[in-house]
Structure 1
């Protein structure tokens, strides 16, 4: 914690903006190093990527935004051109103990909180894969499964959903799997506890919050993705943020 506080003092003294490379080259280099280290810790492959966000709720929001646009793409819909209104009957699955930010994210993304389908948990307070399968089988053709949100470390109990089984179901059905590991990701720093997050590496996106089990004094959440092309949905090119001389310099 002492190191974190000292680093926070230096960061605030520099007050570097990361809007452009020119304004914060050293900070961007640190961020890229950190993201690479965290993707490796999570067991993600060479195509993995990530970005820092101010809090776990924002990471969950971004993960579901990417899931929403991926679902639209599977339906042959251009989400940028037509918006989410063109996505029929969106559904987001999570356990009944999932963080409230899942509901809030769906509201903010235009899916509506009613899109969230909470699933029952077992006697260990973990999402039941059989309930997920049953809910998917019950969906009609007018519904679009957008994502399955697996929780790795619930806020109240610290329980971890059965990640390998959920990932298998999501892969078989072609659904985005987002893992909310805001609390649980810290177990990967421990040789003794890391195996409790087995299957995390199978997620399409992962939320982790270094403010919680990373001992950082300020909100310091991260969204990791298994494939950097997932961020294509967020691409914007504008001259004042993407100057030609920076691009030419690599």
Structure 2
């Protein structure tokens, strides 16, 4: 009977296990350290060419997988970082744009209010100047009229003659005049009044020079200087407004 001789042959296959606890850089460095080992030392680790091929295939696969994963992770991280930075920049730009827009709007409103106030002040200034000019003109006119009245006693006579055109002939009249003009009117009025007209001249100190106050049974005619001046002012101010 033949004997079957069984021989036991053991093959030691070194297994490279990545150091999970180390950083990526350390793992990457360990691969190159293995590759850079002396050829004689590497040969001693393997008892057969098959073992060496297996180990080289493992190392190559590990390296390729690591490089691929590292590159993909880098690209992903770079993209995420870029998107995050872009989003933050857009948000900051939007906030800055809103802030500048708000500030511009506030500045514009301030300028608009300033211009409105300035326009109002200018209009008021013009109105005040117009009023001052008008007051000055009226003051000058008043003085000129008073001067004319003093040197021209015929002014109240012309007023009486004009008033008689609106009064029915034969009506009794009481005409009040300034005492200083009374004598002149008494002397000259009869020239312009028909005989049928009943007129009584009355000197009155309340009547200013150049003024006349006529009383009739139907009413009065206030032709005093003050009354006529007020009427003139009212007309001028009405036209001005």
Instruction: Classify the TM-score, shorter chain.
Output: under 0.3
> Which structure is higher in strand share?
1
Give the number of the structure whose alpha-carbon radius of gyration is greater: 2
Question: Which structure has more RCO (C-alpha within 8 Å, separation ≥ 6)?
Answer: 1
TM-score, with length taken from structure 2: 0.25
> Which structure is higher in helix share?
2
